[in-house]
Structure 1
Amino acid sequence: MLSVRGLSKAFGAKRVLDGVDLDLASGESLVVIGGSGTGKSVLLRCILGLETPDAGQILWQGAALAGQRAAFMDGFGMLFQNAALFDSLPVWRNVAFRLLDRMPRPRAHEIAIEKLARVGLGPEVADLYPAELSGGMRKRVGLARAIAADPRVIFFDEPTTGLDPIRAATINDLIRGIVDETGATAITITHDMSSVRAIADRVALLDQGRVRWQGGVAQMDQAQDDYLRDFIAGRARPMARGPVSAGM
């Protein structure tokens, strides 16, 4: 479904991505992990077209994404880190934001109610404003918006940031359930290992701008990469490390 080949991106003298290679199969849930500043968000922004890579290419269904950007953008959904809801719009219009240009208002409202129900929110929430919602409810509204147009590809940016463990587990379960039900292809970036285990089919670890390790989530705990082991366990490491290994 999606391939990244030799992707590089620098900001001034700082090279954030340094030859990233990734493949994402149709219907697969890939979770990208790594410490702060390892390029996770920049990778996502390059795929979405918000940043222009310095080198490399992104392929969608085997062809250059740059040549089919409009079709790609029409078929993707996004859950932003802080939900990124429009404060001036009621919940249902946030959810139906992309739908209102495609269909009559009553149908868009109907779909918004359906998607809110899918994430565990009743119709009474539809006319509230984001400021009236808890953090967990805002995340669920953001998730409802991400799936409102039945996207083929969904991006999740730190989906559990700022949530307590119970609400985070709820969001993780919702994401996994939605991916399974819809067959959507998913990319999640996170540092939350609970999310990794709940959401991922496959995991990629970014370090020093490259993919240091990738493999199935079931293989993660048996991996021999020391940095991956420390990341999983949350162990502190010296700031300076040796060269990135080839990975799996």
Structure 2
Amino acid sequence: MIQIHGLHKSFGGKPVLSGVDLAVGQGESLCVIGQSGTGKSVLLKCILGLTTPEAGRILWRGSPLDQATRPDFLARFGMLFQGAALFDSLTVWQNVAFRLRQRMPDVQARAIAIEKLGRVGLGPETADLMPAELSGGMAKRAGLARAIADDPAVIFFDEPTTGLDPIRARRINGLIRGIVTETGATAITITHDMDSVRAIGDRVALLQDGRIAWEGPVPAMDRAAPLAGFLGNTPSL
């Protein structure tokens, strides 16, 4: 689904990405880990077109991700932001149906929003609440409902459990894993939480010094020498 070849990006003359090579297949769940400041978010922004790399290629379904192919890509992706990033002036259902309302009547968009809210464990009574009335866990679920509202082919998760207590974090991880499995969507997750990696990921990639230092299936990471420092006695990166 997505291939990255030799990606380079720097800011102020300081290299952040120094030749990243990475690929994620259809229906695969890839977790990208690494210390803070190693370029995980920059990598995501390059894929989404929010920042332009100096060198390298990004392919979408085998074709260069450029002006010709980006509209199709943008129409087929969903994203769960780190802080849920709900619009505070819109109700929950309007947030979930934000993209849908651009091409269908509100009655239809609301029905789909309520269905997706139910998929993440939020009842129809939450549809007309404002984001300020939601707890942190509920807001994250509403953000997840928005991410899947348009049945995307690719879903990006940016630190999906940040700010949640362990119990709520496990629930979110379980929801994400279930949604990825049921929909067959391709997933790319940026996370510091190794519990999330084990729960969500099929494969994990370590971003270090601007390159992918190690990648492989999640069950193999406990035996990977480059990951020893991350997997010692700390629950997260």
- Same fold? TM cut 0.5: yes
**CA deviation digits over 1:4-38, x for unaligned, max 9?**
00001000121110000001100000000000001
Q: Which residue of 2 aligns with 1:64?
A: 64
Shift of 1:104: 1.2
**Corresponding position: 1:233 with 2:232:** yes
Q: Which residue of 1 aligns with 2:193?
A: 192
Q: Matched residues in 2 for 1:186 and 1:156: separation?
A: 7
* SS at structure 2 position matched to 1:232: coil
**CA deviation digits over 1:165-184, x for unaligned, max 9?**
00000000000000000000
Shift of 1:41: 0.3
**Percent same amino acid among aligned pairs?**
70
* SS at structure 1 position matched to 2:59: strand
Q: Which residue of 2 aligns with 1:50?
A: 50
Shift of 1:157: 0.2
Q: Matched residues in 1 for 2:70 and 2:10: separation?
A: 22
Q: Which residue of 1 aligns with 2:99?
A: 98
Q: Matched residues in 2 for 1:77 and 1:233: separation?
A: 33
**Corresponding position: 1:87 with 2:88:** yes
Shift of 1:137: 0.4
> Which TM-score applies when normalising by structure 1?
0.93
**Corresponding position: 1:135 with 2:145:** no
Q: Which amino acid aligns with 2:145?
A: A
TM alignment of 1:187-226, pairs within 5 A: 187-225=188-226
Shift of 1:234: 5.1
Shift of 1:103: 1.1
Aligned length: 233
Q: Which amino acid aligns with 1:231?
A: F
Shift of 1:233: 2.1
**CA deviation digits over 1:54-108, x for unaligned, max 9?**
1101001111011300000000000000000000000000000000011111110
* SS at structure 1 position matched to 2:187: strand
Q: Which residue of 1 aligns with 2:4?
A: 4
**CA deviation digits over 1:210-246, x for unaligned, max 9?**
0000000011111132xx11112256xxxxxxxxxxx
Q: Matched residues in 1 for 2:70 and 2:225: separation?
A: 38
* SS at structure 1 position matched to 2:15: strand
Q: Which residue of 2 aligns with 1:34?
A: 34
Q: Matched residues in 2 for 1:206 and 1:57: separation?
A: 17
* SS at structure 2 position matched to 1:231: coil
RMSD: 0.8
Q: Which residue of 2 aligns with 1:14?
A: 14
Q: Matched residues in 2 for 1:233 and 1:162: separation?
A: 23
Q: Matched residues in 2 for 1:223 and 1:162: separation?
A: 28
* SS at structure 2 position matched to 1:44: helix
Unaligned runs of 5+ in 2: none
* SS at structure 2 position matched to 1:128: coil
Q: Matched residues in 1 for 2:225 and 2:71: separation?
A: 41
Q: Matched residues in 2 for 1:223 and 1:212: separation?
A: 11
Q: Matched residues in 1 for 2:232 and 2:163: separation?
A: 20
